[in-house]
A and B are shown apart, each in its own frame.
Chain A
Amino acid sequence: MAALTLRERLDPRRFFRGEKATDSSIVLSHRRIFIVPSRPGFALALLLLIQWLTAINYGNNLAFILTFLLAAAAMSSMLYSYRNLSGLSVGAGKTNPVFAGDQACFELRLSNSAALPRYAIGLKLKDAQPVRLDIPAEGNVPALLRVKTEKRGWLDLDTVTVSTAFPLGLFYAWSPINLKHRVLVYPRPAKDRPPFPLSEGDHANNRPRISSDDFQGFRAYQSGDPFKHIHWKSLAKGRDPQIKQYASGETEVLHLNWADTPGTDTEARLSRLCRWVLDAEQAGMRYSLSLPGTAIAQDHGASHCRKCLKSLALFDL
């Protein structure tokens, strides 16, 4: 990690916001770990003061010894707290796209290269349920931080505070870390199920058939094929999964177009498109998507669906 400039080093925001986000995993070191007494720590300080005054008043040397011993144990517990974080490496794990309104799940990978286990490590992220975990010696543990999403687009991981109060709870050691880690948030699918837009040149049929009944034959399963087209009977017989193919005529192609969505609210229009993409995919139809500045040719399948949703998510951002 690059050395900090003096200005960066003295910036008090470093204690809470951490340093600039990095791509690679972050190894916690003395530069990133901060430590202050916790509430029980301050309470202990008060106790020690009272004990010290009592010791002075009675001129009692064993009372002095007890007081100093406790103070010394508290001080070395600070080193233990530091050690509990020091050398821990935190990296970004996998993420899956979510729809706005759902919970995004950031996976962090905590890996401990040391020969000693680390106990009671807490992970805190704004608006997320804090996580507390233990990491075995030379072990890796995933930590899942779930955040409620509001807006479509990329959701960047905010500052995660890795902290510990182990072993005595008298000191709170923490390290704010910023990882380049993000989750793609798709638009919130519209709640109602609006009718599919009419394809051009298909004015005869008001609605495309959701599921065509013109059975054509079987073909081998490809990932992304809708489950409901799997020929379960043959699968149950132990054969490779087969897909029932239906006639997909011209009328089955759905052209999802920005211009076809009613209203002026961009988000509402995107939500509607999102709903259409999902429904069309579920129905096993082929569909294309055109947004101002983007056009995705007709296709179907999971990756096509993801592609469409991604362009919806990032539209105009």
Chain B
Amino acid sequence: MKTPATSFMPDRTQENLLLFSVFFIAAPHILNLGEGIVLYFSLLAAWRLALGYRPALQPGRLLLFLLTLSGAALVYVDYHRFYGREAGASLFLVGLGLKLMEMRNRRDVYLVVYLTFFVALTQYLFSQSIPLAIYTLAAVGLLISVLIGLNAGPVLSLKTQFKMAASLVAQALPVMVVLFVFFPRIAGPLWKLPDDPISGKTGLSDTIEPGSVSRLALSAEPAFRADFEGEPPPPAERYWRGPVFWRTDGKRWSLPSEQRRNDAQMPEFSGSAYRYTVTLEPHQKKWVFALDLPKAFPGDLVQTPEYLLLTQQSINERRQYTITSYPNYRTGGLSPTELEQGLQLPEKPSTRVLRLVERWQLSSPDPRDIVNKALLHFQEEPFVYTLNPPPIRDKLVDTFLFETRKGFCEHYATAFVYLMRVAAIPARVVTGYQGGQWNPVGKFLEVRQADAHAWAEVWLAGQGWTRVDPTAAVAPHRIEQGINLDQQVTDGEVSFNPVERALADAAFDFRDWYDRARLVWASVDHAWNQWVLSYNPENQKRFWEALGIVDWRGVISWLAALLALCGLLVGLWLLPRRKPKSDPAVAAYDRFLKKLARGGLTKRTGEGPRDFAVRAASERPEAKEAIGAITTLFLRIRYGRQADPLDLDQLRQMVKSFRI
């Protein structure tokens, strides 16, 4: 029963449980950190496991020192520094592994457990997905059970230990929710974050060249989601405005290094408006994608002369903005700079381009007619809309227009703008997203990276900047139905190898089921983003205002009241540990004693029922028989060889009718 208070781990099982939990928590880092570091940690953990069976393997001081050095070197080789997200997380993992090697007493166990908690936290800097959250919740439960085992000693079975840890975590959940919602948030960052290299983030880039949009075409990652107040716009109106390009050097289109001052006049808006909230995934740029064209938007956004909304700082966490857009608009006149930029060409166009444009101009000098002629050209000539256009080495536009004729939206948009400029019509390329999938489960529009798109805008007198989408002329379904990833893959349109194609055919039957599951998952994910991950200082303030909390006193009273309520609930859960209901025979006998006590006869402590019965009978001879009968019956039920269930009923009956 007794264990010395100094033993640091009750037994081998507990130690192995600790090692397992540590490894379990650290495992997801394999997705985030260099293989070398994860391998280093795994080796140390395995070594520690072996130590439990072969204590002679305990490394000496020198070896530990060398291990520490090599761990630090590993981190440095991978990241060339010791701070920042990746390097910091690696350093903690290396430290955890080393601490495992010299875990000798209770204090060390706590240090290991706390370090593990922190390693769990570093994983969130890489991903905040629902699966990871559930995984870590389980891991926290495991570590808590380790602490319980550490403190209880070997009497506790593993099962009880896990059960206790599970109920501790379950009881902690409501308090956690209260703290999450009400604990005052401070807008970060508190200190300057090192510029973490952004790896693996897909999204629109700030240049256009062949492949800059199409490389996104197979990415199912969400770009943003939009919740509409009222009906969503029809697919053909779902143009989400991103960066606008004026300048090209013939090969690529690039953004000006400096933003122009916004001197454009406000467009005239007409018709119905859409009011919606976009939840942007972090894309490390300042662009906020709004439906063409945004009129009202939050005050912390600015609008460029090209009507693109920009944030003050790069979006490196999920953000929400509520925006009102009008699909019908009319922009104003053209400034001399805009005119110059809108007609800029990198070099003299080739003769076949000039000849083509001249032919259009000859039939009608009206810019509107020229635009339609160009679109008709794309439609009637054998142009192909494909993700895998043949590479073009030189004279991009010229070769595309007259030779390859295969391209993705960026080819069509740039070629179209080029043609317009040759025809002296001011034009520019707009990138952004087009379409989006309506999620009937969550009632929101999900726009994925695959919906990235490029289109053109031409300036027409009286109308201002007008959107023209040459892709619509070549592949109208792209605009009407949006890009369908699964469809593209199964149709072989975007397939890369025959194996994938075969798999895609087999997957056809599952597509329906898969689609539905994906929709449900997307809406769960959206809810998670919207309700959990985007809860930031601003949202908290808004929520407090909705509750009528105006100052810190309000916050404290809410926090205190809710925490007290949680504490009370947990207390009620924990504390009723009274003895189970006593024997019914004893209860009946107690009632009998109570009746006698009212009559002035109290059983002394230490006086047996039989002795008491004798005394009671002598003092109340009139009740002698009843007292005797009840006592005999009670003793028979309590101590008799065989209990007759009828006896109990009889006892109860007799006690009930007993009068004194």
Contact = CB atoms under 8 A, between A and B. Distances in A.
Interface string B1-27: 111110000000000000000000000
A56 interface: yes
B121 interface: yes
B128 A51 contact: no
Interface in A47-78: 47, 50-51, 53-73, 75-77
B384 interface: no
A51 B5 contact: no
B593 interface: no
B176 A68 contact: yes
5 contacts: A50-B118, A58-B317, A61-B532, A62-B133, A169-B147
A59 B570 contact: no
A76 B570 contact: yes
A57 to B, nearest CB: 4
B144 A168 contact: yes
A132 B3 contact: yes
A66 B123 CA distance: 11
A51 B121 contact: yes
Nearest to B130: A62
Nearest to B191: A57
Interface stretch (B33-41, B65-73, B151-159, B495-503): B151-159
Interface class of chain B by DSSP? helix
A68 B152 contact: no
A287 B550 CA distance: 90
A79 interface: yes
Given A43-B114, A55-B121, A75-B567, 19 more contacts: A40-B110, A51-B118, A53-B190, A60-B125, A60-B317, A65-B133, A67-B121, A72-B176, A76-B172, A76-B175, A77-B168, A80-B574, A83-B577, A132-B3, A138-B579, A165-B151, A166-B148, A168-B147, A169-B110
B110 A73 contact: no
In the complex, which of the residues A113, A117, A119 has the most CB atoms of chain B within 10 Å of its own CB atom? A119
In the complex, which of the residues A72, A79, A86 has the most CB atoms of chain B within 10 Å of its own CB atom? A72
Contact of B175 (A47, A72, A87, A120): A72
A264 B407 CA distance: 120
Given A80-B574, A167-B151, A169-B150, A51 B1 contact: no
Given A60-B125, A167-B168, A119 B577 contact: no
B567 to A, nearest CB: 7
Given A59-B317, A63-B124, A134 B155 contact: yes
B171 interface: yes
Interface in A114-147: 114-117, 119-120, 122, 130-134, 138, 141
A136 B535 CA distance: 46
B190 A69 contact: no
A132 B535 contact: no
Given A69-B169, A79-B574, A132 B144 contact: no
Interface stretch (B181-189, B291-299, B425-433, B482-490): B181-189
B579 A69 contact: no
A155 interface: no
B555 interface: no
B172 A60 contact: no
A67 B179 CA distance: 10
B655 interface: no
A72 B137 CA distance: 13
A306 to B, nearest CB: 26
Interface residues of B, number: 66
A73 B169 contact: yes
B155 A83 contact: no
Interface string B536-563: 1000000000000000000000000000
Contacts of B121: 51, 54-55, 63, 66-67
Contacts of B125: 58, 60, 63
Contacts of A120: 151-153
Interface of A: 39-40, 43-44, 47, 50-51, 53-73, 75-77, 79-80, 83, 86-87, 113-117, 119-120, 122, 130-134, 138, 141, 165-169
B165 to A, nearest CB: 8
Contacts of A50: 118
Contacts of B132: 62
B178 to A, nearest CB: 8
A-B CB proximity, top 10 nearest: A72-B175, A72-B172, A114-B577, A68-B179, A62-B124, A73-B172, A68-B176, A57-B189, A69-B176, A56-B188
Given A68-B183, A120-B152, A60 B570 contact: no
A167 B168 CA distance: 10
B279 interface: no
Nearest to A166: B151
A59 B189 contact: yes
Interface in B181-211: 183, 185-191, 193
A50 B536 CA distance: 19
A49 B446 CA distance: 37
B533 A61 contact: yes
B447 interface: no
A131 to B, nearest CB: 7
B646 interface: no
A76 B117 contact: no
Interface in B569-594: 570-571, 574-575, 577-580
A57 B191 CA distance: 7
A165 B152 CA distance: 9
Nearest to A131: B2
B172 A86 contact: no
B580 A115 contact: yes
Contacts of A79: 567, 570-571, 574
B164 interface: yes
In the complex, which of the residues A57, A59, A86, A133 has the most CB atoms of chain B within 10 Å of its own CB atom? A59
B1 A133 contact: yes
Contacts of B317: 58-60
B450 interface: no
B2 A86 contact: no
B180 interface: yes
Nearest to B155: A134
Contacts of A166: 148, 151-152
B190 A134 contact: no
A57 B124 CA distance: 13
B509 to A, nearest CB: 37
A10 to B, nearest CB: 24
A55 to B, nearest CB: 8
A12 to B, nearest CB: 25
B213 interface: no
A156 B438 CA distance: 81
Contacts of B128: 60-62
Nearest to B160: A117
Contacts of B172: 69, 72-73, 75-76
A305 B193 CA distance: 84
Nearest to B5: A132
A72 B179 contact: yes
Given A40-B110, A47-B117, A63-B121, A72 B173 contact: yes
Nearest to B180: A68
B113 to A, nearest CB: 9
A80 B168 contact: yes
B188 A57 contact: yes
A255 B535 CA distance: 93
Given A44-B114, A72-B172, A58 B1 contact: no
In the complex, which of the residues B114, B164, B187 has the most CB atoms of chain A within 10 Å of its own CB atom? B114
B148 A168 contact: yes
Contact of B171 (A60, A76, A117): A76
Contacts of B534: 61
A261 B294 CA distance: 113
A69 B173 CA distance: 7
A66 B577 contact: no
B140 interface: yes
B120 interface: yes
A131 B2 CA distance: 7
Contact of B575 (A55, A60, A75, A83): A83
